[in-house]
Structure 1
Amino acid sequence: MEHFTPLASTLGGLLIGLAAALLLLTNGRIAGVSGIAGGLLTESTTRERGWRAMFVAGLLIGGLVSGLVAPTSITAADASTATLIAAGLLVGLGTRLGSGCTSGHGVCG
């Protein structure tokens, strides 16, 4: 990462922590992305699916905004789009099968 700065990292960490705390306080849920995304397929109530859909949409929109605001800071991968999508799905499946979530453990312990 050529654009690393302690200030940007600290602010990013604070925002992630704030978002995780708000999710816990408002919904009583830990911020684990694979569990939240998986619930889109398994939850039966509209309320449960609604907040999960908004969370996932926020992740996608955040990535889009980041790419538009600072396009040169995004590192290109040496893999095809299909390979990257397959890898992401396999990581998500593996963490769910292992009753875990990489983001949930990283952010919330």
Structure 2
Amino acid sequence: MSFQIPWDTFSWSPLFGGMLLGVSGLVLLAFNGRIAGISGIVGGLLKPRKSEFSWRLLFLSGMVIAGLTAPQFGFEYPDLSSLAPSISPMIAVLAGLLVGIGTRLANGCTSGHGICGMGRLSKRSIAATLIFMTAAFVTVFLRLHA
């Protein structure tokens, strides 16, 4: 039995998005010697060093501009209205704080460990990614089935 991709229903946006993430991480590492971990980039803006402020601001601005201009290039936003969570704002704030604490404990986030670190075959990043993905799977399972 062979696997065939149904090209007539294949969505190219995730493929191009993943390629852009990889290229942006590679360019930042090659030209600036920095890992494209978004939590670290944002954290560096909160306690800025003069020599690092501009590239961090440009990187984050590029992310926002790319997201806002994507429809002009034929990329459509997915309809996420059916995924709207039925939780209170207080639970959402608590969840955000827990994600922030986890990011701090892991010394990085999904972009830093999951994309850049695993791409560099970092053992620490592979372990961190396995742990936070397992925690995500368990959380979703408990949220939906418990």
Higher RCO, Cα 8 Å, sep 6+:
1
Unaligned runs of 5+ in 1: none
Structure 1 pair 88/55, CA: closer, same or farther in 2 (3 Å)? farther
Pick aligned residue for 1:70 from 76, 79, 97: 76
With the length of structure 1 as denominator, give the TM-score of the two structures: 0.72
- Identical positions, percent: 45
Return the offset for 1:52. Answer: 0.6
Aligned to 2:58: 54
Residues in 2 aligned to 1:58 and 1:85: alpha-carbon distance in whole angstroms: 26
Return the offset for 1:93. Answer: 4.0
1:1-109 equivalences under 5 Å are 5=10, 7-45=12-50, 47-66=51-70, 70-71=76-77, 73-76=78-81, 77-78=84-85, 87-88=95-96, 90-108=98-116, 109=118
Unaligned runs of 5+ in 2: 1-8, 119-146
Alpha carbons 1:33, 1:104 under 8 Å: kept: yes
Residues in 2 aligned to 1:81 and 1:56: alpha-carbon distance in whole angstroms: 26
Return the offset for 1:6. Answer: 5.8
Return the offset for 1:67. Answer: 5.9
AA matched with 2:49: S
Alpha carbons 1:40, 1:53 under 8 Å: kept: yes
Return the offset for 1:92. Answer: 3.3
With the length of structure 2 as denominator, give the TM-score of the two structures: 0.56
Whose Rg is larger? 2
3-state DSSP class of the match of 1:31?
Answer: coil
CA RMSD of aligned residues (A): 2.9
Return the offset for 1:87. Answer: 4.1
Aligned residues: 104
